[in-house]
């Protein structure tokens, strides 16, 4: 049997948009068509962020802590932090200790926010890159107790990053291969809601999108070994 000997199939933005327009019963004809499709695609990515964790966007980060400084900026494209530890030492003496996440209400209730020591709690302010008159606001983390000078502390965290925006027509998307069907199906559904005469396709396109998303998201999950131990009861 002859095969292609390659496994590099991917779609650039133009190809994704063309496929989505065809499914919506139309075609890509103008620069405005590409512009409105790119806008819908970015809104689709925002929806995906709201649906939950996308494993391919998880990144590890570190922040060296400064004695007396409680608050630190995160990268502007940070959606949330999933895990966080305080690291001390290095090599064979390295030690990671998990710290607990608290809400703004918990942090506000701390009577002495200037207490120093080894941090045990973290408050995350998810500004998510909101833009104000002063510029872009980075998400921040605030630690308590405030780091002291007893040791060199490093905050190690695993963050959920935003999916990169849809760029020009020749860019490939920041999406794994297995999510391409869901992306095309979702874009077709969004476009059908905007294209005159395509309204009758919306229900079936929505169904196809939901099914494609479910297949991809079920595959995009953290896998770990599961051990089931049966309990044995003896009846006297």
CA distance 161 to 148: 30
> Where is 160: in which H helix or E strand?
strand 154-161
- 137 lies in some domain: yes
CA distance 132 to 76: 13
Structural domain for 93, as ranges: 58-161
Give φ, ψ of 226 to 5 degrees: -120, 125
- 118 lies in some domain: yes
- 10 lies in some domain: no
Same domain, 48 and 93: no
Decide: 116 and 68 in contact? Cβ < 8 Å: yes
pLDDT tens track for 169-220? 556 677 888 889 999 999 999 999 999 999 999 999 999 999 999 998 888 7
pLDDT over 90 for what percent of the chain? 56
Same domain, 149 and 76: yes
Question: Dihedral sign, CA of 175, 54, 163, 193?
Answer: positive
pLDDT tens track for 78-109? 888 989 999 999 889 999 999 999 999 999 99
Q: What is the pTM of this model?
A: 0.69
Q: How many domains does the chain have?
A: 2
Same domain, 36 and 112: no
Same domain, 43 and 75: no
Same domain, 35 and 64: no
Same domain, 157 and 81: yes
């Amino acid at each position: 049997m002859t095969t292609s000997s390659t496994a590099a199939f991917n779609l650039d933005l133009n190809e994704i948009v063309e496929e989505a327009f065809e499914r919506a019963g139309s075609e890509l004809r103008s620069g405005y068509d590409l512009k409105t499709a790119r806008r819908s695609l970015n809104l689709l990515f925002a929806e995906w962020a709201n649906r939950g964790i996308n494993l391919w966007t998880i990144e590890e980060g570190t922040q060296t802590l400064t004695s007396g400084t409680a608050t630190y900026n995160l990268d502007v494209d940070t959606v949330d932090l999933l895990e966080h530890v305080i690291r001390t030492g290095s090599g064979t003496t390295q030690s990671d200790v998990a710290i607990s996440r608290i809400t703004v209400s918990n942090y506000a209730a701390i009577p002495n926010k200037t207490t120093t020591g080894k941090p045990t709690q973290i408050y995350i302010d998810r500004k998510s890159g909101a833009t104000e008159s002063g510029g872009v606001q980075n998400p921040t983390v605030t630690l308590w107790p405030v780091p002291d000078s007893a040791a060199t502390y490093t905050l190690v965290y695993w963050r959920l990053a935003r999916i990169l925006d849809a760029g020009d027509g020749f860019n490939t998307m920041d999406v794994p291969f297995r999510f391409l069907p869901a992306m095309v199906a979702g874009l077709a559904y969004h476009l059908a809601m905007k294209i005159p005469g395509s309204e009758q396709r919306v229900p079936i396109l929505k169904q196809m999108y939901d099914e494609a998303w479910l297949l991809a998201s079920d595959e995009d999950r953290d896998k770990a070994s599961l051990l089931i131990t049966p309990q044995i009861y003896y009846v006297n």
